[in-house]
Structure 1
């Protein structure tokens, strides 16, 4: 089992350990108040881990502590992994960013755009621009999520069984065909909206590579990067030790849902990762550990290479971490004002990540060029090339908008850099 330990004296790389302890204090405060179940926090600078914090419980009712080897549902922190997979195929000549998605997924031919009406009686018009690969990577395709509850197309998705999951026995290919049968919210490339884009991208990876998404991940990304405890499920009653999965149900954190009084178990949703899924969600399906995702952030910080294994060229990673929104817009100006895993003001969007464009507009400590994302159960990560800094937060409280963990952690981490 891979270990996650402090590798460097924080002072040697310009980090004040006492100041950094404020990050754990913030998280412990929420744990003590009964508003957060447990957490693991990893901070690394200049390639070395300088802080591993753990507190609370992975299972509150059974009094099981959160530990560095705990397994967590990372939900949308799956998206950067899928984006890396797509860019690996891009580098190899398997696809082009300007390619119409219909070249690989015929259901995306002849798309229509919602122009008015209701979910039961929608008015639509033919799209004048095809959905392209770069639209999927940037969430500008015009797709949406059923749980968004902001648009009639969201309701159309829910009516077909897509809210926080998929209908039983529905695989990714069938799900993509269903999503493509519904109207787009807007002309592709004209707005940003958080959506199933990365799930569609995962299906594109399958078609171009000729492999299922779980096989591609395992053979081409997770295995080479030493992420041995990351998979689309934790374990199963048949294989409770995690054979074929991430590592075993005994180490899986229980999912909790925020309530007015604090939190309550969310087992009906959380059980989805107990067994191999029918639909492999490139947008939100992975289970992982803090150790494994730390390795992924190091791979990104090192611009596509880790421990002698190179999956992407340095300039490809740099290109992914640039703002690709038209005209250099931020999400506040270009995005639909709905729930996402990032603030909107001063934040652009690259090929799979949010990108800090203007720290002053964001009104929180950060660095221009930092890129990041998070998951629905309050997990988060960021990579700061200028500061040679990576941070991974694992926890299990849904939704992520419940507590201001991410801005508070940024404040604590950045104020601990003293060189």
Structure 2
């Protein structure tokens, strides 16, 4: 990745922009908190800053511009774009009931009691789960790692989210639908496997496997040649290790050379399964900033991007009002949720510099991105430490980047 234009000409204060890499190195690399980082800041079609530091692997292999990262939940916006392509073709609609395409959900109930050794008791939902509920995480589904209910306990016990287990997308949907919802669809916001279910809808409606659909309709057209569910053997040497936080020092928990990402998963996770590079994901962000286009390639229409990046939470509320999640990739106050992204709805309430209408998300391995149409600004941050909420690095990055604008 190369800086393509003078930061001063792009509207940055050069001294302030150049301060950011040193800050990250001193606070996170030299201290040992992170093993590596890559930061890309773009304005329009240009790259104003690209910085990196640290090691890609535990053996000391240095980070490189083309290092491959597990992007986890930064897969979600790609799956959401895939779904909206099908909406544009008239094959599905946001207000369609999910059971129209996934009949397994026809009789799903809402939790009333039980769990563990006691059979679940359920009641009929107050409203049918619609596609928009999957897209904005108001479906009533959950994640096994939430550790807050008997339902997510059942997810863990049944190993529903194991990509290399017994489930493909079809049996995965059936297993989810056999368990209760945490609440009636539309009643609350809960970070969940909803986007994985969106991936199942994309697969059934398109008639293509999810990886094949992504490749044909999004990745190849955008030139994202290093984004995939399985790292090809010829690219494994570029794949980085992954660490887990420990109070003494990060602990290596996924070694690249024998990682499961080097093997084709049985379950294609539209919610978190992709590997990518900084350069590839910047191309995706530039497409979003271009309101659905990158160069001569149109992925979705501009009005589709406008729709996706509005706050779709019921009543226009924020996550403080609606969220029931213990774990989230978003700050709550002033933050709404669109169709695949968190949305900055009230900058003052977030208490972080930004713009109304800016949208973003991140991944559990400490990756993050944002797109700010008002400032023609994009950011992609890559690292490989889980969980992502240990350090306030996303808040710090936004503060540093916005303070560098003229």
Q: Shorter chain as normaliser: what TM range?
A: over 0.9
Query: 1:161, 1:167 within 8 Å by CA — same for their partners in 2?
Result: no
2:266 matched residue in structure 1: 278
1:256 aligns with 2:243: yes
1:66 matched residue in structure 2: 63
**Distance in 1 separating the partners of 2:117 and 2:23:** 46
Q: Could you list the runs of 5+ residues in structure 2 that have no partner in the other structure?
A: none
Q: Which structure 2 residues correspond to residues 216-231 of structure 1 after superposition, within 5 A?
A: 216-231=213-228
Counterpart of 1:306 (choices 279, 294, 301) is 294
1:138 matched residue in structure 2: 136
1:205 aligns with 2:221: no
Task: Tell me by how many angstroms 1:382 deviates.
Answer: 0.1
Counterpart of 1:88 (choices 75, 85, 88) is 85
1:123 matched residue in structure 2: 121
Task: Tell me by how many angstroms 1:69 deviates.
Answer: 0.5
**Distance in 2 separating the partners of 1:345 and 1:273:** 35
Classify the secondary structure of the residue corresponding to 1:259: coil
Task: Tell me by how many angstroms 1:167 deviates.
Answer: 5.7
Task: Tell me by how many angstroms 1:309 deviates.
Answer: 0.5
**Distance in 1 separating the partners of 2:191 and 2:216:** 28
2:339 matched residue in structure 1: 351
Query: 2:225, 2:280 within 8 Å by CA — same for their partners in 1?
Result: yes
1:43 matched residue in structure 2: 41
Query: 2:164, 2:266 within 8 Å by CA — same for their partners in 1?
Result: no
> Which ranges of 4 or more aligned residues in structure 1 deviate by more than 6 Å?
none
**Distance in 1 separating the partners of 2:195 and 2:337:** 14
Classify the secondary structure of the residue corresponding to 1:316: helix
1:339 matched residue in structure 2: 327
1:330 aligns with 2:313: no
Task: Tell me by how many angstroms 1:349 deviates.
Answer: 0.1
Classify the secondary structure of the residue corresponding to 1:65: coil
1:8 aligns with 2:5: yes
Counterpart of 1:177 (choices 174, 179, 182) is 174
Classify the secondary structure of the residue corresponding to 2:52: strand
Provide the TM-score with structure 2 as the length reference: 0.97
Classify the secondary structure of the residue corresponding to 2:371: strand
Q: Deviations over 1:131-172 (max 9, x none)?
A: 110000000000000011011100011110135x34624211
Classify the secondary structure of the residue corresponding to 2:42: strand
Query: 1:330, 1:348 within 8 Å by CA — same for their partners in 2?
Result: yes
Query: 2:55, 2:61 within 8 Å by CA — same for their partners in 1?
Result: yes
1:393 aligns with 2:381: yes
Provide the TM-score with structure 1 as the length reference: 0.94
1:297 aligns with 2:285: yes
RMSD: 1.3
* Equivalenced residues, count: 403
**Distance in 1 separating the partners of 2:331 and 2:22:** 23
**Distance in 2 separating the partners of 1:23 and 1:144:** 36
Query: 2:242, 2:255 within 8 Å by CA — same for their partners in 1?
Result: no
Q: Could you list the runs of 5+ residues in structure 1 that have no partner in the other structure?
A: 242-247
Query: 1:36, 1:263 within 8 Å by CA — same for their partners in 2?
Result: yes
2:184 matched residue in structure 1: 187
Counterpart of 1:162 (choices 151, 160, 163) is 160
Counterpart of 2:106 (choices 105, 109, 114) is 109
Task: Tell me by how many angstroms 1:111 deviates.
Answer: 1.2
Task: Tell me by how many angstroms 1:274 deviates.
Answer: 1.3
**Distance in 1 separating the partners of 2:179 and 2:20:** 44
Query: 2:40, 2:380 within 8 Å by CA — same for their partners in 1?
Result: yes
Task: Tell me by how many angstroms 1:18 deviates.
Answer: 1.8
